[in-house]
């Protein structure tokens, strides 16, 4: 019975406890509190909140726990238990949990960071205080707080309606204000601006809109304020200024594709390889990209060492912060004609009379125009049968050869010659030309034929030899295969190659481009004497070269004669003479000789003396007129002339006595200077040196006067000068001027009429003084006044000197003659030509070398 009573008692106690825990605030004693203590906490999204659960200061709490939202009593439901940060597992991204607890002695802090909408609800803290269960809870409410978000660097597009982006959010909705360079933007007063939810629209953007903008948000209920500063740059959209155009490049050369884009700021450029519809891969990323050199500044794409595979579509992109723009062009690659040795480039060789065929092949893109040109002919052959030689036919055709690039089809040109002759042997140039360029190669047609001496010109049929002069006897011949040449003398004896008296040479003579032409030489080295060569053989006579090959042989004859010295010069005549020179004319000797006269030589001497002079050779190509200079006037000379050829000089002409003319005054002097002066107060006279009349010129006399005047001014000038400047002239005035030359015989004649010149006006003359163009001006009046004052001071000074030295005044000095009479008269009279008189002037000039001015009347 006792056991049953105890069991009933425990059951009653259990029920009582369950009743306590099942009644919340009524049963749970309010022994816990929150710090802060508000039961409803309103926090902005993204913020962090910390709430501490704590007993009062006089009690102690144990087993404190925080439970999250949506939990139901009893509080022991562990599903919503918030653990300590140290015990919380990491999130999937490796970060810590946003909601956790931190014990702090007798307290437990709840931390909720970066609040989100799922975090809202009731949070409950439970524990035991003095062994009595207790709890405290609060409700978390989240709202949108004031937030201003914007990029610090933005752009506006010039000429458009463009937006500066700025997001201002809050709950309740905030107020947004804008500032430009610290000045408030009143959207009510200006229609250029409009505030929208996500920013500020600027209408008709101009470059003046560059600057700093400020986006400011204000939450009116709380007074919260936030702002962002934004630096705005006005840009223009890229515009294609020079669009890429289809371009042609040449293989192995460099090429450029142009592209130019206008924008502010300047764009950056990129180039792409693609097709007509798609810009494809950037050139810097493809194989062999080092050959592609895009410019980042001016848009030009340079392709170096162009290859056939570069033939593609190329895209140019110009980009800045506002936009980008594309342009495309097709790049065509051409190939200059090339002649590969692997192609058919064989020379042709056939016998005379047979048909010759020669083929020339080349590779090119696009297909070339091909033709043949015989070396030495003025113009290439035309394709087809030749109008002037129906034996020759030329035609083009595609080749059967192939190229690794299927777009390139080798081409060939064929030349066919019927009934060939030796004259068909020549170098033939194969020419291939297309829009990429021109190329050519030389091929050879050789016609086999027996030798002949047709190439030897008539001038070589007779050849010269003389004493101690080795001579090459030369013949020219043709033949193929290469012929051999043997020589025989006029007595019929063969000249063997090992004979020391003769040397034989044989070499190609391909000056005309023919490979069947040859030159044979026989060098004769024996001394020529009247009795023959070493008493055995006279080299003068006929020589017989013989040429032969497997197709035949031919003989030829060369006549070797002894060269003679020139004969006597005939027809020696005097064609002109002066006081110091003689000019002669001579005719070459009239005679048969194998070497020509190449000129004359002169020997002369003053008649009656032994002082012989010799003048070097006068070449015939300068004519047969010869001049002897630097002779004495009025003197007789003995003159001999002889002709010279390659062997030596011939007989003297008969001696001729020739007398030079008597010396005279110099010829009339010719003035070459301009008739318009460069100055208004001076003039430079320039003249030519005249013939001196057989006597050296010692000086020049320059004379000048105003037109209409009777008096000549003059100045004597050294003979070493051919110019002089006349000073002290009047502006805008015409003068007469003449120059006379003087030698031992006297002055040259006056020119008739004299030359004239005119000085420049005073206002523009480069050497005019300050007052040279003033007439009755203020400056002249000032100058006169200054002159009068200066003259007065000079007279006063002279008067004082006279008084101090002689006790006389100025007037007494003048009247009694304070200075002695001049030793010379004012003018010296000299004779010019019997008509004029000369008065000496007082001025001097360094150019006269001490001579005095002369004044002619």
Quote the pLDDT of residue 73: 38
Residue 857 neighbours by CB distance under 10 Å: 12
481 cis-preceded (ω within 30 degrees of 0): yes
Q: How far apart are CA 414 and CA 356, in angstroms?
A: 10
pLDDT of residue 621: 65
pLDDT digits (tens, 9 = 90+) for 662-702: 888 999 999 999 899 999 999 999 999 998 888 889 999 99
Write the CA distances from 194 to 162, 164, 174, 236, 515, integer angstroms: 11, 10, 17, 21, 94
Rounded Cα distance, 68 and 813, in Å = 142
Q: Assess contact for 124 and 67: CB atoms under 8 A.
A: yes
The per-residue pLDDT for range 364-418, each reduced to its tens digit, is: 999 999 999 999 899 999 999 999 999 999 999 887 666 666 677 888 999 999 9
* SS3 category, 741: strand
Give the pLDDT confidence score for residue 508 in this predicted structure.
92
Residue 352: pLDDT band (50, 70, 90) is very high
- What distance in Å separates the CA atoms of residue 705 and residue 715, rounded to the nearest whole number? 12
Q: For residue 301, which of 310, 319, 320 has the smallest C-alpha distance?
A: 310
* Average pLDDT in the chain: 82
Parallel/antiparallel/unpaired status of strands 301-303 and 255-257? antiparallel
**What are the pLDDT digits (tens) for 586-636?**
888 877 788 888 888 889 999 888 888 888 777 776 566 788 888 888 889
Cβ burial 454-463 (10 Å sphere, 16+ → b, else e) = ebbeeeeeeb
Range with the lowest mean pLDDT among 448-457, 474-483, 557-566? 557-566
Is residue 711 pLDDT above 60, yes or no? yes
Q: What is the arithmetic mean of pLDDT over 357-361?
A: 92
pLDDT of residue 806: 55
Q: 10 Å Cβ neighbour count for 737? A: 22
Per-residue pLDDT, 759? 94
pLDDT over 80 (residue 14): no
Q: Which two tokens stand for residue 617?
A: 């050779």
d(CA 459, CA 476): 12
Residue 146 pLDDT exceeds 60? yes
User: What is the rounded CA–CA span in Å between residue 764 and residue 656?
Assistant: 65
- pLDDT tens-place string over residues 297-318: 788 999 999 998 899 999 999 9
- At residue 537, the pLDDT reads 63
CA 338 to chain centre: 30
Residue range 740-761, pLDDT digits in tens: 999 988 999 999 999 999 999 9
Secondary structure of residue 150 in the 3-state scheme: coil
Find out whether 70 and 128 touch, Cβ atoms under 8 Å. Answer: no
Q: Which two tokens stand for residue 24?
A: 């919340």
773-793 mean pLDDT: 65
**pLDDT tens string 64-83:** 889 888 643 344 456 678 88
Q: Where is pLDDT greater, at 771 or 337?
A: 337
Average pLDDT over residues 548-573: 89
């Amino acid at each position: 019975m006792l056991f049953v009573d105890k069991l009933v008692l425990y059951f009653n106690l259990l029920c009582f406890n369950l009743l306590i825990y099942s009644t919340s605030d009524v049963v749970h004693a309010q022994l816990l509190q929150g710090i802060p203590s508000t039961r409803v906490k309103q926090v902005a999204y993204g913020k962090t909140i910390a709430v501490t659960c704590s007993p009062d200061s006089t009690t102690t709490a144990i087993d404190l726990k925080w439970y999250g939202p949506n939990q139901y009593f009893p509080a022991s439901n562990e599903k919503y238990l918030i653990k300590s940060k140290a015990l919380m597992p990491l999130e999937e991204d490796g970060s810590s949990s946003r909601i956790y607890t931190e014990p702090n002695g007798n307290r437990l802090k709840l931390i909720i960071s970066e609040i989100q909408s799922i975090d809202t609800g009731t949070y409950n803290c439970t524990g035991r205080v003095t062994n009595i269960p207790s709890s405290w809870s609060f409700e978390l409410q989240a709202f949108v707080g004031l937030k201003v978000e914007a990029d610090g660097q933005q752009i506006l597009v010039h000429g458009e309606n463009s937006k500066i982006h700025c997001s201002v959010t809050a709950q309740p909705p905030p107020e947004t204000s804008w500032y430009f360079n610290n000045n408030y933007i009143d959207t009510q007063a200006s229609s250029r601006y409009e505030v929208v939810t996500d920013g500020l629209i600027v209408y008709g953007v101009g470059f003046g809109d560059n600057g700093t903008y400020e986006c400011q948000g204000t939450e009116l209920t709380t007074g919260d304020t936030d702002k962002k500063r934004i630096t705005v740059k006005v840009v223009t959209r890229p515009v294609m200024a020079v669009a890429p155009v289809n371009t042609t490049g040449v293989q192995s050369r460099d090429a450029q594709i142009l592209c130019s884009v206008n924008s502010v700021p300047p764009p950056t450029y990129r180039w792409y390889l693609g097709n007509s519809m798609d810009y494809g891969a950037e050139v810097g990323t493809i194989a062999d990209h080092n050959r592609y050199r895009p410019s980042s500044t001016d848009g030009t794409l340079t392709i170096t060492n162009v290859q056939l595979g570069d033939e593609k579509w190329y895209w140019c992109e110009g980009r800045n912060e506002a936009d980008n723009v594309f342009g495309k062009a097709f790049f065509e690659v051409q190939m200059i004609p090339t002649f590969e040795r692997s192609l058919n480039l064989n020379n042709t060789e056939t016998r005379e009379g047979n048909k010759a065929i020669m083929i020339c092949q080349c590779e090119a893109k696009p297909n070339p125009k091909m033709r043949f040109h015989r070396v030495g002919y003025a113009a290439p052959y035309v394709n087809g049968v030749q109008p002037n030689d129906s034996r020759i036919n030329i035609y083009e055709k595609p080749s059967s050869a192939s190229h690794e690039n299927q777009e390139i089809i080798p081409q060939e040109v064929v030349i066919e010659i019927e009934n060939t002759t030796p004259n068909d042997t020549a170098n033939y140039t194969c020419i291939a030309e297309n829009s990429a360029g021109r190329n050519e190669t030389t091929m050879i047609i050789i016609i086999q034929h027996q030798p002949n001496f047709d190439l030897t010109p008539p001038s070589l049929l007779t050849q010269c030899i003389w004493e101690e002069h080795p001579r090459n006897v030369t013949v020219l011949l043709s033949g193929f295969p290469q012929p051999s040449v043997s020589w025989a003398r006029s007595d019929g004896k063969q000249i063997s190659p090992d004979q020391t008296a003769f040397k034989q040479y044989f070499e190609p003579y391909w000056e005309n481009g023919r490979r069947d032409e040859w030159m044979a030489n026989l060098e004769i080295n024996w001394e020529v004497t009247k009795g023959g060569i070493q008493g055995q053989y006279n080299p003068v006579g006929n020589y017989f070269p013989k040429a032969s090959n497997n197709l035949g042989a031919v003989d030829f004859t060369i006549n070797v004669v002894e060269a003679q010295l020139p004969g006597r010069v005939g027809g020696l005549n005097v064609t002109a003479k002066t006081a110091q020179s003689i000019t002669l004319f001579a005719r070459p000797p009239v005679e048969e000789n194998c070497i020509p006269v190449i000129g004359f030589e002169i020997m002369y001497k003053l008649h009656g003396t032994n002082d012989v002079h010799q003048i070097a050779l006068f070449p015939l190509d300068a004519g047969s007129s010869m001049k002897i200079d630097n002779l004495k006037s009025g003197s007789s000379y003995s003159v001999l002339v002889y002709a010279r050829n390659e062997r030596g000089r011939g007989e003297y002409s008969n001696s001729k006595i020739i007398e030079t003319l008597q010396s005279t005054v110099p010829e009339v002097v010719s003035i070459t200077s301009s008739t318009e002066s460069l100055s208004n107060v001076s003039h430079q006279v320039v003249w030519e040196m005249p013939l001196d009349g057989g006597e050296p010129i010692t000086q020049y006399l320059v004379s000048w006067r105003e037109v209409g005047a009777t008096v000549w001014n003059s100045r004597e000038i050294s003979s070493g000068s051919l110019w002089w400047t006349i000073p002290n002239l009047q502006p805008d005035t015409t003068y007469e001027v003449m120059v006379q030359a003087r030698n031992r015989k006297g002055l040259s004649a006056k020119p008739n009429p004299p030359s004239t010149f005119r000085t420049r006006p005073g206002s523009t003359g480069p050497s005019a003084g300050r007052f040279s163009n003033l007439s009755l001006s203020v400056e002249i009046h000032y100058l006169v006044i200054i002159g009068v004052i200066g003259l007065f001071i000079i007279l006063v000074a002279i008067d004082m000197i006279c008084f101090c030295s002689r006790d006389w005044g100025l007037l007494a000095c003048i009247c009694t003659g304070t200075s002695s009479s001049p030793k010379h008269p004012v003018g010296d009279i000299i004779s010019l030509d019997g008509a004029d008189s000369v008065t000496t002037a007082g001025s001097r000039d360094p150019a006269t070398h001490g001579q005095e001015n002369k004044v002619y009347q």
